[in-house]
A and B are shown apart, each in its own frame.
Chain A
Amino acid sequence: MKTLSSPFIWIILVVVGGASLLPILTNSVSLREDMFLMLMLVILASSINIIMGYTGYVSFGHIVFFGLGGYLAFFLMKEFQVQFMLAALVGGAGASLIAFFIGIPVLRLRGAYFALATIGINEAFRSFFTNFDLFGGAVGMFFNFSVYDAYGGAKNAGQLAYYAMVVLALVTIGTSFVIKKSKFGLGLMAIREDQDASMVLGIDPARLKVLTYTISAFFPAVAGALFFFKNGLIEPGPAFELHRSIEALVMVMLGGYGTVTGPIVGAVVYERLRGFLITDPTLSNAHLVIAGVLLLLIVLFVTAGVIGWVRQRVPALRRYLE
C-alpha cells in the first residue's frame, strides 16, 4: 500500500506508542491512569474528526456511541461473563450497526440540522436507558468485584484495559490516516467542500457518508467498553454525557480540524490543561473560566488549530504533518 510508505504515519504511531509505554517503564500507576484517560480522549477526538473533519458533518452527540458500546459490553461482561476484549468488540460492532441505521436517514440533513439531530439522538438514548430496566435503568449496572478475578484481580484488569486502550488508539489513528489518504477519503473531502459538485464527479455521497459514520462510531464504542470495564460501574448520566462530546469537538478544533495529528495534539493539550487547572490549588476555583478564556482566544485567533497553523507557517513540515 502506498499510504503506508508515508513516513508520517510511522512517526506518529511511534510517538503515540512510545508515550503509551512510559507509564509501564516508569511503573507509575497514576501516570497510567492519566494516559488511559488521554488515550480515550484521543480516540474520541480522532473518531469525531473522521466524520467531521473529513466530511464536514458536525456530529455533536457522538458520545452516544461511547455510551452504547459501554452499555452493550458491560451487559455482556456482567451477565454472561464474556471476556472483556471480546465484549468490547461486540459493543463496537453493535454501536456501528446502530450508527448505520441511524446514519441512513440522519445524514441526509445538512449543517446545523444534522448537529441538532445528533444531540436529539444522544438525549433520546440517555433517557431511554434511564428507563430500560434490563440494563439497570436509572441505577445502572456494576460489577461484583469477582468479575475481575478472571483477569488476575482488579489491579491487573486495569493494566489489561490500558493495553487494550493503547492498541485501540493506534488503530484509530491508523484508520484515520488511511481514510484520509485513500480515494475514499478524497471522496469525503469532496463532499465536505461541495456535496452537490461531488455528485457530478460520480461520488455517491450518501453511501460514503453512512460508511464513514459507521466507522467513526466503532472506536468510541470500544473505548466506552474499555472505560466502563475499568470503571466497574455504568450509569446513563456519565455514559451519555453531552458535555464530553462537546469537549471532544473542542479538542478537534484546538488541534486542527481535518488533520490526522490535530485531534491527538488537541486532546493532549486540552486534557493536560484541564488536569493542571483542576489540580492547581490557586487556579482550581476559576478553572472553568480560565479554560473558557483560553479556548475563546484559540477559536478566535487560531482558527486552523495548532496543526493547521504549523502547516500554514512551515510548509516544509506538511509532508510529515498530516
Chain B
Amino acid sequence: MFSKMTRLLWIGIVLVTLLALAACAPAPTPAPTAAPPTAAPKPAATTAPVATAAPQATTAPAPTAAPKAAEPKKLLLGFTASQTGAQQVASKKQIEGLQLWLDDVKKAGGIKLKDGTTYLPEIKFYDDESKTDRVQTLYTKLINEDKADFLLSPYSSTLVKAAAVVSEQNDKVMITAGAADDATMEQGFKKTFQLYTPASRYLTGAADALKKFVPTAKKVAIIYEKDSFSTSVANALQPYAKSIGFEVVLFEGYDTGTTDFAPFINKITAANPDAILGGGHFADGTTFSKQLFEKKVPIQFVAILVAPPEPTFKDIGDAALGIIGPSQWEPQVTFSAESAKAANLPYYGPSNKAFTDAYLAKYKESPSYHSAGGYAQGLVLQKAIEDADSVDPAKIVAALDKMNLMTFYGVIKFSTDAKTHGKQQAHGMVYMQWQKDSAGKLVTQIVWPLEAKSADAVLRK
C-alpha cells in the first residue's frame, strides 16, 4: 500500500514540476513577436507604431471632431511589489494609491495628446518578496519581455536602489516612490526620478519643531535602527541638530532584529536627554514607544521614523499618545489650488479631499503616505506625458526635468544637476502626532510645519 501511495505522489510531483517547467521554459521564445527588425533600441519599438499610425487618420480632423476614432493605445507601466515579506503592508498601500490613479485616468478616457492620440495606462507587477535578488531579475523581465514603456518603483530604499540599477542600465524612465535614500540619487542617474523627500531631510524638521515647542530643550538623544535608510537619516540629523544648538548626548544604532528595548531605554534615560529623535521601521518603533510609555519615561518630545504614520500604530493604545512621526503626506495636508496660486506654482491633479475621499470609498481605509506616493507616481508621469505631448522617453525626461508644480501630495521638483539628477528637491515632510480627540479617540494631527498644522502639538508627560 505504501509503495503505491509513494508512486502516486511521485507522479503528482513530477507532473506539477513538469507543468511548472513547461510554463516557464517557453518564456524566452515569444521574443520574435516583438522583434522583427533585430534587437534594435527598445524605446523606438514602442513609439514607432505611434508615429506611423497617427498621421494618417488623426492629424487632419484631429482634436475637435474625432475623439472616438482614436483607439486608445496601451501604455504599460511595470514595477515589482512586495506581496510577501517585510515590506508587504506599505507596498500594498502604494499599489492601492496607484490603482486609484489608474481608475481616475480611465474615467477621464485616458491620457490625451494634442493630436488626439489617447494612451490608456496599464500596470504589470510581480512579487519581489521584499528581497533584492529578485528585484533585478524581475525588472529585467518587465523591460525585456513585458516591454514595459515606463517603470515605477518597488517600496523601500533598498529595493528601489536595486531596481534603479537595472532601469538605468536599460535606459528606462523610472519614477520612484517609497525610496528616500540620498546616496542612490547621487550616482549620476539619468532617468530615475524621486518623489519622496530624501532621508537627509527626514528628521531635520523635527529638530526645528523641538526648538519651537520646547524652547528649553538642550540635549537630544539620536537613536536609530542599523539599516540603510535609518542610518542615513540619523547621519544627516546629527550635524543638523548640532548646528542649531543642540547637544547630542547619545548617538547610537540598534540592530535590526532588536526585540526588547527596555535596557536601551534605561541607557537613554541615564543620558538624561530632553528629546528622543530617530527610530527605524514598524515593529521596532512600535515596541520602543510602548516601552517608553510603560517605563513612564518623562521625555516631552519623541519623534521616530516610519511607525507613527501607520494606522496600526494605535494598537498600542495610550502609548501612542504624543509620539511624533515624519510623513511624506497626511490626509490633513493643505495643498490646494489656492495655496499653489499663493506660491506661484501651477496645481495639477485632484484636490486632496477628492483623493482622500475616493480612497476611503474604494478601500474602506484611510490612505497613508504610501498610498499618496503611489498615486503621485502615476500623476507625475501623466503630467509629464501631457507636457511632452509624447511618450518618447527623451521628451518625458525633458518634461520631468522642467516640472515644478504642486499636487495634493505636495510640491514636486527634481534636481537637474548632473550629479544628483532626479533627486527630489521641493517636496517637504510634514510631522504628524498621535493625539486624543474630544471623544477620547486616538487620532493623528499634523503639528509641523506650523503653516500646515491641523492641530497644536501636545507634549508628552
Residues of A bordering B, CB below 8 Å: 22-23, 26-34, 36-37, 127, 130-131, 137-140, 142-146, 154-155, 158, 227, 230-233, 235, 237-238, 241, 244, 269, 272-273, 275-280, 284-285, 287-288, 294, 297-298, 301-302, 309
Contacts and interface: CB of A to CB of B under 8 A. Distances in A.
Contacts of B407: none
B449 interface: no
A138 B328 CA distance: 23
Most buried by A among B20, B84, B131: B20
Nearest to A25: B28
Contacts of A277: 20
Contact of A275 (B24, B83, B131, B187): B24
Contacts of A237: 158, 227, 256
B266 interface: no
Contacts of A127: 255
B248 to A, nearest CB: 18
B20 A272 contact: yes
6 contacts: A34-B137, A138-B227, A275-B24, A285-B83, A297-B9, A298-B13
Contacts of A309: 10
Nearest to B126: A279
A137 to B, nearest CB: 7
B389 interface: no
B254 to A, nearest CB: 10
A265 B168 CA distance: 34
Most buried by B among A29, A131, A137, A273: A29
A135 B414 CA distance: 30
Given A137-B226, A139-B232, A154 B169 contact: yes
Contact of A297 (B13, B133, B141): B13
A109 to B, nearest CB: 25
B39 interface: yes
Interface residues of B: mostly helix, strand, loop or mixed? helix
Given A138-B253, A233-B161, A278 B134 contact: yes
Nearest to B231: A138
A142 B144 contact: no
Contact of B133 (A27, A37, A139, A298): A37
Contacts of B138: 279
B152 to A, nearest CB: 17
Nearest to B181: A139
B188 interface: yes
Interface string B122-140: 0000110101111011101
Contacts of B369: none
B131 A301 contact: no
Contact of A145 (B24, B161, B187): B187
Interface in B217-273: 225-228, 230-232, 253, 255-256
Contact of A272 (B13, B24, B84, B129): B24
A29 B136 CA distance: 12
B127 A284 contact: yes
B60 interface: no
A263 to B, nearest CB: 16
Contacts of B31: 26-28
Nearest to B158: A235
Contacts of A294: 13, 16-17
Contacts of A23: 28
A150 to B, nearest CB: 15
B28 A26 contact: yes
B131 A238 contact: yes
A297 B184 CA distance: 43
Interface in B1-50: 6, 9-10, 12-13, 16-17, 20-21, 23-24, 27-29, 31, 39
A78 to B, nearest CB: 12
B162 interface: yes
B358 interface: no
B42 to A, nearest CB: 10
A241 B145 CA distance: 29
B165 A154 contact: yes
Nearest to A232: B165
A138 B228 contact: yes
Interface string B104-135: 00000000000000000000001101011110
Interface in B175-193: 183-184, 187-189
B140 A284 contact: no
B332 interface: no
A47 to B, nearest CB: 17
A29 B28 contact: no
A246 B143 CA distance: 31
Contacts of A233: 161-162, 165
Contacts of A130: 226, 255-256
A22 B28 contact: yes
A322 to B, nearest CB: 22
A230 B232 CA distance: 24
Contacts of A143: 187
B24 A144 contact: no
